[in-house]
Structures are given as C-alpha cells and as structure tokens.
Amino acid sequence: MNYKSLIVLLLSLLYFSCDLNKSISKKETNQIANLKEKLAADYDNQKIRNKLINAYLQRAKTLLQENKIKEALKIIDKSLIYTKASETNTEISNILLNIGKDILTQSLSELKSENYLQFRYNEKFQKGIMLLDKAREYTDSKAQITKIMDNYYHSIALKFFENVKQNYQQDIVELNYPKLQKDLNNLNYIKKLDPKFNHQDFFKIKNDLVGKLLFYNDKTQLYSFKLNENKILWNRSTTLLGIQITFSNNEKSGYRAISPTQFTLFDNQGNSYRPLETYQVLEKSGYKGLLKRRRLDAGSTLKGLLVFQIPNSNLKFSKLKWVSSKNEIAEKLFPNKSIRKL
C-alpha cells in the first residue's frame, strides 16, 4: 500500500470512529476499545468476540429505544464485522432477534400499503430481516426463527390484502384502470411475500381484477394490448374462437412488425394455441378485420382479429401472450372462467 492510500484509509477510519463515537458514551467507548485490543491479540477467542459484539448491540438497543434508528443501524453493522457464521451463541442470537423484531415492528407501523414498490425496497425492513437471518445463524433453533420471519411476511401480506379488499370494488365501479392495475400488482406481491397466503377472498378478488384489466391497454409499457369488449366471437359448430385486440407501440421512435404468429393463447392446462393464418377461408366464413402482418410505428395502435381453433367452449384460458422477434413481451391474463362468459 503506498503512502497516499494509507493516509486515505486512516482518515476514513478516523471519520467512521468519530461518527460512531457520537452515538457511544465514553464508558462504552473505553469498554469497546479494551475488548478490541484483547481481540486483536487473540482473534479466535470466541468469548472476547461475543463480549465485543454484545457491547455494540446493547448500545444499539438503547439507541433504538431513543428512536435513533440510523445511529443504531450503523452500530449494528459495526458489530456484525466480528461475527462468525460457524459459531453458535444463544445470547447473541437472542439480542439480534430482539433488535430485528423491534426494527420490523417499526417498519410495519410506517408501511403505506397502497404503495408496495416503496415498501419492497424499505431499508429498515430489509435490515430487520437481515438481523433475524443473522440470529438464525447463531442458534440451533433455526426453525423457530424461520417461523418468526414467516409471520412478519404474513403480517405485511395481510396489510396489503386488506388495502386491496377495501378499495378494489370502488376502483371497479369507477373503472379506474391504473388503480386496478396497482391492486393486482399488490396481490401478486402478496404471493411473493407469503407464498402460502390463502385468504378466502384472495382468488375471487384477483379474478375480478384480471377480468376487468383484460380490456385495459396499459400504455406505461413499451408494448401493450387489450381485448376489445363485445369482440370475443365463439362459433360452436366450427370451434373457432375469435378475439379482437387493440395493440399499441408506446415507444418514442422506431417501429415494430406485428404479426399473428407472434401471439400464443394458453389454456389452464398449459396447452398453447396459435392464430390461424388461412385468411381467405376465414374471411369467407365471416371473420372480418383479421390481424395480418404489418408495420406499427412508434406512438401508433392497430386493431385486428385473432382466430384460434380450440377443442371446445368449456376451456378456461390463462393468458394471451405476444413475443416479438427481439423477445419483447406483452401479455394479458384471463380470469378463471369460461371465455364465453367474459
């Protein structure tokens, strides 16, 4: 290490120590300094290391009680430098667990359930989960701490769900599609937080939201489409299903070639169906306005009919998906009901 690099390192350490010492009393500073000195002489001494970690964590607990979150988190980070995952220590585990629970409780109280994206990257919540995870490393009771973590995830998921349940019906009445999309995003995030979330109304609400959003063209995406209402055609004798869509290129510039071959319809069993391209036959059968390959400029939309051959009218479909030659994707989810009832 050259002279300049050494100076920079020493100044950085001095700055961190001064900043940290603002949050630590003189007595605690002397205690920590003494333990660090002992540990430097015998780093494998688990007893000394645990005392040092404990000293930091006890101070962090006091700061949390004083609502000095940033200072507490800084000291916690400092303490974790001295941890070893291979060691088990019930005392350290319990302290980490209690501090983590306190931080998670605070983050939950501040949670704005209408905005899951802000919460997803909430620093306080992530730190609390990290501490519980660290507590799990230090104990043999790993399953117990895992259950505590799962309970926090469930509490958050439930809060998101109650918000959706309270608002979605009004959003449907108003046909406020951006809010309906946010409601659906929250439901999807609930399942990521708590894969076992199984509230009795969850699937009914999701079904209602998906059904309404079929007819919404979300132009915040680069490419999007919607199904056109009253333009789902079913022919019982030929088992042909016609779906008229409006497709949008929401780019600022350029164009895309849009073709029926880029669309795939999936049923609930995972089977896939591609649009028919026998245009003359279909047009003679009364299918007008078929979607054919064409250029779609940025900022433009096109309307066209996709026709599928399906086995029977009782099928339920999961989604209609578009994939471009450049692997760009747009899709619409279907509610869990017969397509004839959409």
* Candidate ranges 167-176, 177-186, 269-278; pick with highest mean pLDDT: 269-278
Residue 270: pLDDT band with limits 50, 70, 90 = very high
| Residue span of the structural domain in which 302 resides | 218-341
Of the three residues 177, 194, 213, the one that is the final residue of a domain is 213
Residues 61 and 143 in one domain: no
In this structure, the answer to whether residues 239 and 337 fall within a common structural domain is yes
- Alpha-carbon separation of residue 307 from 106, 223, 235, 273, 321 (angstroms): 54, 21, 11, 10, 14
Q: Name the domain count of the chain.
A: 3
DSSP letter (8 states) at residue 336:
S
Q: What's the pLDDT at 111? A: 67
Are 98 and 7 contained in the same domain?
A: no
- Write the pLDDT tens digit of every residue in 35-87: 888 888 888 888 888 888 888 888 888 887 787 877 887 888 888 788 776 66
Find the CATH number of the domain harbouring 226: 2.60.40.1240
Pair (202, 292) in one structural domain: no
Per-residue confidence band for 20, with pLDDT thresholds at 50, 70 and 90: very low
Q: How does the average pLDDT of the chain come out, rounded?
A: 84
Two structure tokens written together for 276: 């028919």
Cα 337 to Cα 326: distance, rounded to the nearest angstrom? 32
User: Measured between alpha carbons, how far is 168 from 121 in angstroms, rounded to an integer?
Assistant: 24
| Cα atoms in the Cβ-side hemisphere of radius 13 Å centred on 250 | 15
Q: Distance between CA 265 and CA 271 in Å, rounded?
A: 8
pLDDT in tens, 108-151: 777 665 555 556 667 778 888 888 988 888 888 889 999 999 99
| pLDDT level of residue 275 (50, 70, 90 thresholds) | very high
Q: Using one digit for the tens of pLDDT, what is the confidence trace for 228-255?
A: 988 888 888 888 999 999 999 999 999 9
Determine the average pLDDT of the residues in 176-191. Answer: 89
Q: Examine the domain organization and report whether 195 and 294 are in the same domain.
A: no
Based on the fold, state whether residues 228 and 150 are members of the same structural domain: no
Q: Which run of H or of E encompasses 182?
A: helix 177-193
Residues 239 and 177 in one domain: no
Burial 46-56 (b: 16+ CB within 10 A, else e): eebbbbbbbbb
Lookup result for tokens 């490393």: 137
From 52, 82, 112, the end of a domain falls on 82
Q: Are residues 38 and 102 in the same domain?
A: no
Q: What is the DSSP letter of 72?
A: H
Residue 285 CB partners (closer than 8 Å, separation 6+): 235, 238, 240
* One domain, residues 233 and 325: yes
- Please provide residue 263's backbone torsions phi and psi, each rounded to the nearest 5 degrees: -105, 145
Q: Are residues 262 and 293 in the same domain?
A: yes
| Pair 311, 326 in one domain | yes
One domain, residues 202 and 254: no
Own/partner pairs, 282-287, CB within 8 angstroms, 24+ separation: 282/240, 282/307, 285/235, 285/238, 285/240, 287/233, 287/240, 287/242
Question: Is the pLDDT assigned to residue 5 strictly greater than 50?
Answer: no
* Higher pLDDT among residues 182 and 89, named by residue: 182
Look at residues 198, 213, 228 and tell me which one is the last residue of a structural domain.
Answer: 213
